[in-house]
Amino acid sequence: MAHLTGRWNDVVRAAGLVAPDGTVRATVFAEMSALATRTGAINLGQGFPDVDGPAHVAEAAVAAIRAGRNQYPPGPGVPELRSAVALHQERHYGLRVDPDTEVLVTVGATEALAAAVLALAGPGEEVLTLEPYYDSYAAVVAAAGATHVTVPLRVVDGSYRLDVEAFRAAVGPRTRIILLNSPHNPTGAVLDRAELEVVAAAAREHDVVVVTDEVYEHLVYDEAQHVPIAGLPGMAERTLTVSSAGKTLSFTGWKVGWVAGPAALVDAVRAVKQYLTYVGSGPFQYAVADALTDDDGRTRAWLADLVGSLEKRRDLLCEGLETAGFDVVVPQGTYFVVADGRPLGFDDGAELCARLPDLAGVVGVPVSAFCRDGATGEGFRSAVRFTFVKQEDVLREGVRRLAALRR
């Protein structure tokens, strides 16, 4: 494995990927997927759909390629997509953004988040995230030379909630960015208005920018509702809202993302983005523009079916995990459920995941991979993330196999 000596060594170290001998390991996601391939286990680790997104949107991409839209798109993104993002924000949330100055198209949400952190935070400044957190956050905070501060989510009445007291205590004069994620990967938590009010009040008080990762904005279940923090009083002027087509449309390989917010902040993100990738995903931008504009309502109908089906698949997996003996926190959104292995006698989720192919022919990802070293607090050390964005028969077979743990 590689041995990094430059600045990026700090980045991989912050991501927990440097082995005791100084070499750089693969991410746990790659490791667990390789484990699944090697052992023939069912991969409920990595979260990508095993069926395609809507056919009419795929056709729009084909049409864009055939129409010759294959050269570099404009730096900020094609106008059709910027307008569609603005329309989407207005239609779903009543948020108004100017497509010319307040929307930037990026190579997935990942690039938007990286460019935002690199643009706005630096040495001596703090970036606050929830814990557990999406794995790229720690890497880009380290790349910016900033300090990563985390606030844990905790289980309250059967769902993961923000530790409000810990959050208030963590925001201070050195906080530059609050990097939020709701609906939340890996816990499936959907922050409610009261929690977001706490975040917003702290951001206003300390004059902090909120960068909010909303890639699962449409994948919420039961009575839960996604509330964009940009819509709270005084927040539009200090919030960068990040989303992408990957999760919403089940086209995770297209890597079409965007960021929306006040022109000055979006400009700063663009200043970094132009030297990361410059542009990307040309023809797919037109297809996503069609999907978001959705003149004929086909995308809305497809999405409603997807959410209904994901909700059923979530229930199937959650019930199976409970039957197998896990403690399960039923998620309100996303592709994922977190299950605790302690009732099965496993205190260490990483160890459980390493043995799971042998014990049950299934692969999951330890939640410790979403936590800082040594900060994997009480709740998360023994926790495992499983995905339910797999076809129902795959989940049924996974659940059947997991039942072996009980014996």
Ligand X SMILES: *Cc1c(COP(=O)(O)O)cnc(C)c1O
Binding residues for ligand X (CB under 6 A): 108-110, 134, 181, 185, 213, 215, 244, 246-247, 252, 255, 257
CB of 359 to ligand X, least distance (A): 27
Cβ proximity of 36 and 231 under 8 Å? no
DSSP, res 405: G
CB of 152 to ligand X, least distance (A): 17
Alpha helices per DSSP H over 159-297? 164-170, 193-205, 245-249, 263-276, 282-293
CB of 71 to ligand X, least distance (A): 23
CB of 309 to ligand X, least distance (A): 19
The amino acid sitting at 324 is A
Give the C-alpha separation, 339 to 162, whole Å: 18
CB of 334 to ligand X, least distance (A): 7
- Cβ proximity to ligand X: between 110 and 299 the closer is 110
DSSP string, 181-217: ESSPTTT-----HHHHHHHHHHHHHTT-EEEEE-TTT
- Cβ proximity to ligand X: between 251 and 346 the closer is 251
CB of 331 to ligand X, least distance (A): 13
CB of 54 to ligand X, least distance (A): 17
Q: Which of 165, 243, 241, 172 is nearest to 205 (CA)?
A: 172
Bridge-based pairing state of the strands 239-244 and 175-181:
unpaired
- Cβ proximity to ligand X: between 281 and 368 the closer is 281
Whole-angstrom CA distances from 402 to 136, 320, 329 are: 30, 7, 17
Largest Cα span, the chain: 60
CB of 77 to ligand X, least distance (A): 14
- Cβ proximity to ligand X: between 148 and 247 the closer is 247
- The three-state secondary structure class of 343 is helix
- Cβ proximity to ligand X: between 258 and 302 the closer is 258
Residue nearest to ligand X (CB): 108
Cβ proximity of 384 and 347 under 8 Å? no
- The three-state secondary structure class of 359 is helix
Look-up: residue for tokens 């022919």? 361
CA dihedral of 162, 315, 31, 140, whole degrees rounded to 10: -30
Cβ proximity of 336 and 160 under 8 Å? no
CB of 61 to ligand X, least distance (A): 16
- Cβ proximity to ligand X: between 249 and 405 the closer is 249
Give the C-alpha separation, 392 to 398, whole Å: 10
- Cβ proximity to ligand X: between 43 and 110 the closer is 110
- Cβ proximity to ligand X: between 106 and 361 the closer is 106
CB of 211 to ligand X, least distance (A): 11
- Cβ proximity to ligand X: between 273 and 401 the closer is 273
Q: What does the block give as tokens for 29?
A: 């996601």
- Cβ proximity to ligand X: between 171 and 249 the closer is 249
DSSP, res 133: -
Name every residue whose Cβ is closer than 8 Å to that of residue 122 and which is 6 or more positions away in sequence. Answer: 144, 145, 146, 176
- The three-state secondary structure class of 380 is coil
